Amino acid sequence: MSTVLLVGGGGYVGSVLAQELLERGYAVRILDRLYFGDHGLTGIRDRVDLTVGDMRIVSPALLDDVEAVVNVGGLSNDPTAEYNPKANYEMNMTASVALARMAREQGVRRYIYASSCSIYDRGVGDEARDVLLDEKADVDPPGAYAGSKLAAERELLEMTSDRFCVAVLRKATLFGFSPRMRYDLVVNTFVKDALSKGYISLHFGGEMWRPLAEVHDAARAYIALIRADHKVINGEIFNLVYRNFRISELAMRVRAALNEIDVPVEIRTDYSYRGVRNYRVSGHKLDRVLEVAPEVTVEESVQTMVKEIRRHNYTDFDSPRYYNIAWMKLLQEAQGVIQVTGSVFDLPKGAKPLREVGS
């Protein structure tokens, strides 16, 4: 049985990918710091080989018998990367490259890196730059997150050889249900807002373009990269895109899908500028080279999402757990408090409760 190491295998993408790999008979090893808990591993916890640890400190033994490493770990959006650019760079760039070097030394044959279409972001306001971009496009991404992804890609793609295959998957913004749920991704946010508030908010008139893809389609693309002939993917970048949507069209599609299942929703639009992202990306190379074409529609995914959210009781929509930046800030604040209190409810180590003093 081939073993795949998933770095970040407890995350939004990682937990869906772990499930899909298990279904195809792979042995799945996971390295994850479990920042968001282990909900993502519900139902598969006893079928994966889990190491709870940090990708910045990896023991070579973790790579024993591993056929492929898929690195879907690290900080995974703009706000968390801007919040702590140092940690972001350490994880998304330095550790990702160091892990690839270690993998190569340990005889692992394949390393697949999770990158992002946000590398293509060109902002709003310059229509001449508003064109469909492919893997060959010149990129100069603003911000810590996309910058770290691009820097890692460049280092990693230098490492290819006949014996070590590196491929990069630049994923569009994902949508869909995952057992480690995120409500900070645009379609998922719309669904959450519809269920919790009855309306969807469109900023900047919703005129921005965004490439989108469903999370199971992302998992299937990774599996295609794990299975593909080395020569076909080695040193290659692939975009994963189902379709490009204006955010306003996306909102209307989400509303129509929700209305069909009797979830009423209103669309509220404001025209203020809020640092929006805007880019259109071609996913044709993945289809042309690997015959992988994302197929899950927004409408289908939205309806499944509602069912799964209800089935898993992920209806505590305000919980920071579902929003990466809110959760990371909360964890850091809690860490500061616990450094002072020692623990939450237990007494500090060695202390005796009052009633026992003198007894």
Which residue ranges make up the site for ligand NAD (CB under 6 A)? 8, 10-14, 31-36, 54-56, 72-74, 76, 91, 114, 116, 171, 173-174, 180, 182, 185, 324
The smaller minimum CB distance to ligand NAD, of residues 17 and 233, is found at 17
CB of 352 to ligand NAD, least distance (A): 37
- Compute and round to an integer the Cα radius of gyration of the chain: 21
CB of 50 to ligand NAD, least distance (A): 11
CA-based torsion, 124, 82, 178, 194: positive or negative = negative
CA 45 to centroid of chain Cα atoms: 20
The smaller minimum CB distance to ligand NAD, of residues 8 and 294, is found at 8
CA 255 to centroid of chain Cα atoms: 25
Residue 209, SS3 per DSSP? strand
Which residue has the closest beta carbon to ligand NAD? Answer: 11
- Cα–Cα distance list, 152 to 71, 145, 164, 207 (Å): 12, 11, 16, 31
Say if CB 34 and CB 53 are below 8 A apart. no
CB of 338 to ligand NAD, least distance (A): 19
Per-residue burial over 256-288, b = 16 or more CB atoms within 10 Å of its CB, e = otherwise: ebbeeeebebebeeeeeeeebbbbbbbbebbee
CB of 36 to ligand NAD, least distance (A): 6
The smaller minimum CB distance to ligand NAD, of residues 38 and 249, is found at 38
The smaller minimum CB distance to ligand NAD, of residues 160 and 178, is found at 178
The smaller minimum CB distance to ligand NAD, of residues 29 and 33, is found at 33
> If you ran DSSP here, which 8-state letter would residue 93 be given?
I
CB of 47 to ligand NAD, least distance (A): 17
Q: Do strands 3-7 and 66-71 pair parallel, antiparallel, or not at all (unpaired)?
A: parallel
CB of 355 to ligand NAD, least distance (A): 41
CB of 29 to ligand NAD, least distance (A): 13
In sequence order, what are the beta bridge partners of 240?
171
Per-residue burial over 94-106, b = 16 or more CB atoms within 10 Å of its CB, e = otherwise: bbbbbbbebbbee
